[in-house]
Amino acid sequence: MKPLLLALCVMSAFGSLSAQKPVWQPSPGHTQLPIWPGAAPDSQPVRGPEILEPSGNTFLVAGRQVIGVSNVTKPTITVYSPKGKNTGVAVVVFPGGGYQTLAIDLEGTEVCDWLTPKGITCVLLKYRVTDVGPYPKSGPYPESLMALDDAQRAMGLVRFHAAEWHIDPHKIGVLGFSAGGHLSAAISTHYAKRLYPAVDAADKESCRPDFAVPIYPGHLSLAAAEWDAKQGTKKFVVPHPATADKNLALNPEIPVTSQTPPTFLLQNEDDHVDNVNDSLAYYIALKKAGVPVEMHLYAQGGHAFGLRRTKFPVTAWPQLVETWLGTIGMI
C-alpha cells in the first residue's frame, strides 16, 4: 500500500536477513488459538519463518516504536476478555500493515487494552501476510484470498464459541486499520458465502459483522482499485460511467448493499498513504444503500497513529466510537 511499506514493512525486510527472530506471543494469561484445524486455504509462499521486528527509529508513533509481524502462515486469534463488567459485545481486530506485515501492538494489542476495560471482548486476529513475489502475492481481496479467508473463519469461530466466551452472538463487530480497515469493509460486504470449503461447524455460523469500524482504510475507491490493478496481474475490472469521479466512486469489489452492517469511519485529510477519498467513497455508497454510517474527518494527523496520544484532535477518536456503539444499540 504505497509509502506505508516504507514505514511498517521495513522490519520485514531487515528481519529476513537475520538467522533467528522471535515470534509474537500475547501477554501472559492469553493464548493464541489456531483458526484452521489443518492447512489454511489459498496459502502463498513466504521468505522464511514468521518474524517479530521492531521498527526502530524508522517509524515512531508518539515517540515509541511499532512492532511488526511478518511471514504469517499460521493465522491465530487471541481472546482478551473483560476482567470486570461484560457488555456481551465483542470486536474482532484487524491490524494494518499493507497486507505485508501486521502492526501487532499499535493496531492490535493496544486496541484490546482500550476495549476490555469497557466491558468489550477483544479478539485479535493475526491474519496471513507475506511480501514474497510480485504484487499481489499478499494483498486486498480479490487479488489475494488469504486475509479474507482468515477474517471469515475468525468471525465464524467467535460466534461458534460465543456462549463459552461470554459474548452476545448478535453483538460481534470488526475494527481494522489501514489494510485492516479495508479488510473490515471486505468482510462487511463478503459474508453471504465462504471463500473456502467449510471445514467444521464453525463455518456454518454467519460471518457477517454486526458493526464495522474501518480506521484510515485503503483500497475502497475506484481510483485506488485501479491503482492496485496496475501494480499486479489483475485485469481491471468492471466498466464504470465515463462521468464518474473515480476518487469518489466505490471499488466494485466492495459490493455495498442495504445489509452491509452499520459502519463508523475515521480518517485524516492529510493522510498521504490511504487517501481520504477511500473513506469518502465508502461513506457515499453506504448512505446511498441506507446503511447507518457515521464518519469523522480531521484536518491533520496523518496515517498509522493507532490509539497513541498525539497533539492532534483525532487522537480522541476512541471516545467517539464508544458513543457510536451506544447509538446503534451495542452498548
DSSP result, 169-225: TTSEEEEEETHHHHHHHHHHHS-SS-SS---SGGGGS----S-EEEES--S-BHHHH
For cell 442495504, name the residue: 258
Which structural domains are found in the chain, ordered by start?
4-327 (3.40.50.1820)
For 246, which DSSP code? T
Is the Cβ–Cβ distance between 129 and 101 less than 8 Å? yes
User: According to the model, what pLDDT value does residue 293 have?
Assistant: 98
Instruction: Report yes or no on whether pTM surpasses 0.75.
Output: yes
The H or E element spanning position 53 is strand 51-54
Buried b (16+ CB within 10 A) or exposed e, 197-214: eebeebbebebbbbbbbb
Q: What is the mean pLDDT of each run of 10 residues along the chain (331 residues)?
A: 43 44 90 97 92 90 93 97 96 96 97 98 97 77 96 98 98 98 98 98 98 97 85 52 70 97 97 94 98 98 96 97 98 92
What is the separation of C-alpha 37 from the centre of its chain, rounded to a whole number of angstroms?
23
Rounded distance, CA 331 to CA 326, Å? 5
Rounded distance, CA 271 to CA 278, Å? 11
> What is the chain's percent helix, strand, coil content, to nearest 5?
30, 20, 55
Rounded distance, CA 286 to CA 13, Å? 38
Q: What are residue 149's phi and psi, to 5 degrees?
A: -50, -50
